[in-house]
Amino acid sequence: MENKSKGREALEWIYCILIAIVIVILIKSFIGVPTVVKQSSMYPTLMQNERLWLSKWGTTFNKMPKRGDIITFEAPTQRYTDSNHIDYQNPVAEYNYNPTNIFTKFVYYTLEIGKTSYIKRVIGLPGEHVQIKDGSVYINDQKLEENYLQDYVVTSDLDGLYIDIVVPENTVYVLGDNRGESTDSRRFGCIPVEKIESKAVFRFWPLNKLGGIYKDVK
């Protein structure tokens, strides 16, 4: 009887652990996750080692983000610098790794082992003509007023080739706020909506910056 009782107790613990794992996966996949800023491409809006809460609610259903939103997405495979390899009629970032079975998909997309993500700001939406010229961004020939940028910031091509394009359907054009130090759509093209992972909605560290993230854009 004692062995049966211990066996039943062990099974109960296993069930509890499995349920906890499932709950964590569901929260991570459909609600959101905390993250740490590791790069400087969004400086000074986001600083290295700041802690953010990323919402996955809208991105789970491939909802189109708004201009000015700060999003995370799976890093593209290619960063083109040779104009001979660019399709300007379809300037979409390439993703050459596509796991095919359930296990590899779970490891890559859910556990995110071996997966790299970027965090950038949404600038161009589907059907819009985006141009980088005269040190600024132009949307449909109108200069974009980016109030979140520092006054000294100049938006150059940064040796990228996607600087005069029409954003394809179901994609977005993204840039880092630190325009001189950001690998973004200027170099790899537009990001498919299905590759968007989350939206940065809240900063909880450091405490003196506790609150929402500035995204004013006209």
Residues 32, 63, 137: CA angle, nearest 5 degrees: 100
Beta-ladder partners of 191: 172
DSSP state of 40: S
Q: Active-site residue 63, yes or no? A: no
Residues with Cβ within 8 Å of 94's Cβ and at least 6 positions away in sequence, in order, are 76, 77, 78, 188, 189
Q: 């100049």: which residue's tokens?
A: 154
Q: Active-site residue 120, yes or no? A: yes
Catalytic residue (choose from 120, 195, 199, 215): 120
**Can you read off the two tokens belonging to residue 22?**
């499932």
70 closest CA partner among 218, 197, 170, 208: 197
Catalytic residue (choose from 41, 182, 185, 198): 41
Note whether 45 and 214 are within 8 A (CB): yes
d(CA 71, CA 93): 16
CA 50 vs. chain centroid, Å, equals 16
**Can you read off the two tokens belonging to residue 73?**
């997405």
Residues with Cβ within 8 Å of 210's Cβ and at least 6 positions away in sequence, in order, are 203, 204
**Can you read off the two tokens belonging to residue 107?**
């490891």
d(CA 78, CA 93): 7
| Residues with a known catalytic role | 41, 120
